[in-house]
Amino acid sequence: MSEAEEVRQWVSKLTRANFQITDPGRYPIPSEKVKWFFWCPEITEMREIPYLNVVWADKSGNIYLDSMPIGNTTDWVEGAYGEEGARRSMDMDFTDLSKVRNEFEGTFPLVGKRITEYEKIANDVSTRRNALIEIFYHGRKGRATLRLRGRIPSEDSSTGRVWDRIEATVKALKEAFDKLQTNEAERARQIHSNPA
């Protein structure tokens, strides 16, 4: 049995969802770096486990676990600054968010604060659970989409430990995703109780 199939079976068991091995297609990772890739294609199952949608390994042996999208700059800017703000943000090139982040956050500080809150939640869960969880950005001209990403370094994925690390990372992703949803529910409650 291949490594990909073993990991797929373990992740399917942990989540009670059917994952399928495939190629990354248009998924936002460099296909030349991918050793194997699988995802949960069934929409009803995806809704049950939004904290884990894609699992893949790079050619160095690192394993990545990615959530469904947790938000994007266009929607957040439009919600905070209206259609005109969204149009302005769509002029920015988010291919490398680190290059435009200061400008973006200076122009749209409410959205910058939101991204920082997301990063803090991911970092707090990562630290407490001793798992590598972060916010993963993929962008293009006009928009950056954010996901949670768990990473299991190749040095942690030796025989016997990889299953424990995968399980710990899946649990950490679920906790972080749940905390982000709670944060969003509180944000929506505040907006509705204090309309502008």
pLDDT tens-digit map of 30-48: 889 999 999 999 999 999 9
**Confidence band, pLDDT 50/70/90 cuts, at residue 82:** very high
Which amino acid type is present at position 110? L
**Confidence band, pLDDT 50/70/90 cuts, at residue 158:** very low
pLDDT at 125 over 70: yes
Mean pLDDT of 162-178: 94
**Confidence band, pLDDT 50/70/90 cuts, at residue 194:** low
CA distance 187 to 8: 36
pLDDT at 160 over 70: no
pLDDT at 187 over 80: no
Which strands form 143-152's sheet, in the order they lie side by side? 20-21, 34-39, 54-58, 63-72, 143-152, 132-140
As given in the structure block, the two tokens for residue 120 are: 């803090």
Scan for tokens 């910058």, then name that residue: 112
